[in-house]
Each structure stands twice: as structure tokens, then as C-alpha cells.
Homo-oligomer: A and B are copies of this chain.
Amino acid sequence: MSTASIKAVVVGAAGYAGGELIRLLLQHPQAEICALVGHGNAGRPLAEVSPWFAGFLPAETATIEEFDIAKAAQADVAFLALPAGVSAETAAELLQRGVKVIDLGADFRFKDAAVYEQWYKAPHARPQLLPQACYGLPELWREEIRGCSLIGNPGCYPTSVQLALAPLLAAGLADLSQPVIADCKSGITGAGRKAEKHLLFCEANDSINPYGVAGHRHTPEIEQGLSRLAGEAASVLFTPHLTPMSRGILSTIYVRLRQPLPEDKLRALWQEFYADEYFVRLLPPEVWPHTKWVAGSNFCDINLKLDERTGLLVVCAAIDNIVKGAAGQAVQNMNIIFGLPEQTGLQQVPMMP
């Protein structure tokens, strides 16, 4: 184990993504948590807010604090798990002090502030930072991330959809004159750790429902990503669903091919595109991704099938929404930025059952 550990501050430590960051950093051989920040829970020990962490943190970092730039400036990297819109100012302060920033919110995911402003219904707090921000989806944009100090960590749904379709789009084989349809199912951690009625056990248990139909804010992020991969404008109809499980996203994606392709050729596309990617697993034919099969891990499991009757391709991808869809991908980005092997601290075997 290296003596030179990366010092990390976690902002938003009391939430689910924040907690997952803590879980992963605690198991990371070359990172250490130097402070936990959380507005609503400042002054409370983490183990009081999230008792499963009992015993893990030394006294000096065990308590959640208000954000203090002087203290945060001692970190090498800051992970921001904050509500949309709150991150940008914090990021600006941190960058000024030389702290690298990995933002799990949406503030730095868009190249174009106008798109952000249109969908997030608010002016962007620091549009001048956007040019230096990178979209942190390592399997697709690793080289850019390497030298970057400000990462817009991708949304959970967009991660799964982009990884699912990248090989096809990069090969120019998708017919993007038609919209891509992404029907996505998320575990309830996706909604955050908020005491809201519709997230109560008794409201959500044993039930599934769509929400944000034809209007969810991950839509432009998916479109931006797919368009960039394809080199042409992609239009996406994205429907998220609240699914009675704690974690996981399953995306079922429907896309038209430019021309018919035999299934083995198609599979070869994915196989080759992800040949060197540790975190992407193409499952064997007819073995379909199950969200629980990636639980707690940074994997993205993918499978696909061409429906010969309609000519549409169905691609399915499963991730753990708070690992590959949030905290795990953030740590993967940290590894890249700090020159570590990308899997460092991220080789958890999925926890099934």
C-alpha cells in the first residue's frame, strides 16, 4: 500500500451517494477521508446519522461538519454530492485552492450552460468553469479525464444508457433519424435520502411506477452523450421508473439500425469496444442483466438482441445506481486523475443475494 494517500473530502456525507463514497473510500488502499461535510447534519457523528459506519472512522473525521473552505483546501480531491445548482460555487472555491473536484451533481455535466439552464430551470452559477470541466465517463472519455481537475460525474441513468449504446454509435451504425427510446428502471436510492411520502416503504413497496415522463432532466444529458458518440444529433425519449428495490438501474433501450446486421456481428461490436474495460461485462446470449448481479460493484452488465420482426435493436444495461451510477464512477475518475490503476479500490464482487 502506498504511503502517499489521496486525501479526500466528501461533501454531502449524510446522503446515499455520500455514504457510498465513504464506503468505497474506506476500502480504497490509496485514499483517505480527511473530512465529512453535510449541511443539514453538521455537528453529528456520521455513525449517528448512518449507524452502519460505526467503528470505521477515526475520531478526527467521525463528525459531519459545515463546509469550511480552509479545511477543505487541505484535501487533494473533493467529492460533491449536493443538490443540483449548489455545487458550482463550492467547486469554484475549491479549484481556486488547488483541490480537484468531482461533482456528482449536474452542474458540470453539460458543455452548454444553456441546456443546463433550460432543463434545470435556473441560471448556471459558474458557466465560466464549463470549458475546463470534463464529463467523467471513463470508458468513453478517459483521455480527457486524465488531465482534468473538474469532473462532472455522469448521472445514473445517463451512465447506463451511454455505456449500453456506445459501441453502436461509435461505429456509426445507429439510425438516429428516429428517436432512441430508453425505458429505465431505478431503485429507490435514486431519489435520495429525503423524508418524502412517496418514498416511504409502504408507498413504494411491491409497486412500480413511471415518473417524470417525457420531461426528466437526465434527457439532455443522455442526448448530449449519444450525440457526441455518434457525431450527429441524437434524440432520446427517456422514461424513468421507480422500482421496489434499494439499488440498481436497468435500462432497456430501443434503437434502429442504419442497416440490418447479423447478431454475431453486433455482439462482436460490443465485445471489441469493451475488450479492455474491466467494468463492462457483455453477458452471454439470452442471459439478461439483473440489477442485483451488479449490486455494490462498479460493473455495467450489458446484453442485446436484434428483433428481426421489427428491425429494432434492444440493448439492456444494468448498473448499481449509486456505484457505477454515482460514487463508484467518481472514485474511478479519482483514480484516473491521480494516476492510479483504474480499478484500485473498485474490485468489489457484487453482493448477491
Residues of A within 8 A of B (CB): 16, 19, 22-23, 26-27, 48, 50-56, 178-179, 181, 183, 185, 187-189, 193-197, 199-211, 213-214, 219, 235-237, 239, 241, 243-248, 250, 252, 254, 278, 281, 283-284, 287-296, 299, 301, 305-312, 314, 316, 318, 347-353
Contacts and interface: CB of A to CB of B under 8 A. Distances in A.
Contacts of A283: 51, 54
A108 to B, nearest CB: 24
Contacts of A55: 278, 281, 299
Nearest to A320: B351
Nearest to A24: B349
20 contacts: A16-B202, A26-B349, A52-B349, A55-B278, A183-B252, A188-B201, A189-B202, A193-B200, A195-B195, A199-B200, A200-B201, A202-B246, A206-B291, A207-B290, A207-B293, A209-B289, A214-B307, A239-B252, A239-B314, A244-B245
A350 B207 CA distance: 13
A291 B318 CA distance: 22
B309 A27 contact: no
Contact of A291 (B196, B209, B250, B301): B209
A245 B23 CA distance: 22
Contact of A196 (B195, B208, B309, B311): B195
A203 B189 CA distance: 9
Contact of A353 (B189, B195, B208): B189
Contact of A349 (B53, B284, B314): B53
Contact of A193 (B197, B244, B309): B197
Contact of A244 (B203, B236, B244, B278): B244
